[in-house]
Amino acid sequence: MKFLRDLRSVLTLTVLVAGLGYFVDLFDITLFGVLRVSSLRELGLSDAEITNKGAFIYNCQMVGMMVGGLIWGVIADKKGRLSVMFGSILLYSFSNLANAFAWDVTSYAACRFLGGVGLAGELGAAITLVAESLPKDKRGLGTTVVATLGMLGIVAASFVGQRLHWKTGYFTGGVMGLALLFARFKVSESELFAKKTHPSSANPLLLLQGGRLPKYIWCILMGVPIYFTTGVLFTFAPELTKGLNVQGTVTAGNAILYGSIGLTIGDLLSGLVSQWLKSRKRAVAANLIVGFCLVLVYGFVPGLTSTFIYVLSFCIGITVGYWAVLVTMAAEQFGTNIRGTVATTVPNFVRGSAALVVFGFNELKNHISVASAAMTFGALCFGLALVALTRLDETFHRDLDYEESAAGAKDPKAQALLE
Domains and CATH numbers, the chain: 1-184 (1.20.1250.20), 206-412 (1.20.1250.20)
Give pLDDT tens digits along the chain (419 positions).
565 666 677 778 888 888 888 888 888 887 877 787 788 888 888 877 776 787 788 778 888 888 888 888 888 888 878 888 888 888 989 999 999 898 888 999 999 999 989 888 888 888 888 888 888 778 878 888 888 888 788 778 877 777 788 888 889 888 988 888 887 777 777 777 766 645 556 677 778 777 889 999 999 999 999 988 887 788 778 878 887 888 888 887 788 778 888 988 898 899 889 888 889 999 999 999 999 999 999 888 888 898 999 999 999 999 998 988 898 898 889 887 888 888 888 888 888 777 777 778 777 877 888 778 888 888 999 999 999 999 998 988 888 877 777 665 554 444 443 33
Cβ-proximal residues to 351 (8 Å cutoff; 6+ apart), any chain: 62, 65, 66, 227
Residue 311: closest CA among 376, 269, 261: 261
Rounded distance between C-alpha atoms, residue 250 and residue 229, angstroms:
16
Rounded distance between C-alpha atoms, residue 144 and residue 157, angstroms:
20
pTM of the model: 0.80
Whether the Cβ atoms of residue 237 and residue 252 lie closer than 8 Å to each other:
yes
Residue 25: closest CA among 164, 106, 141, 125: 125
> Half-sphere exposure of residue 250, counting CA atoms within 13 Å on the CB side?
31
Rounded distance between C-alpha atoms, residue 45 and residue 32, angstroms:
16
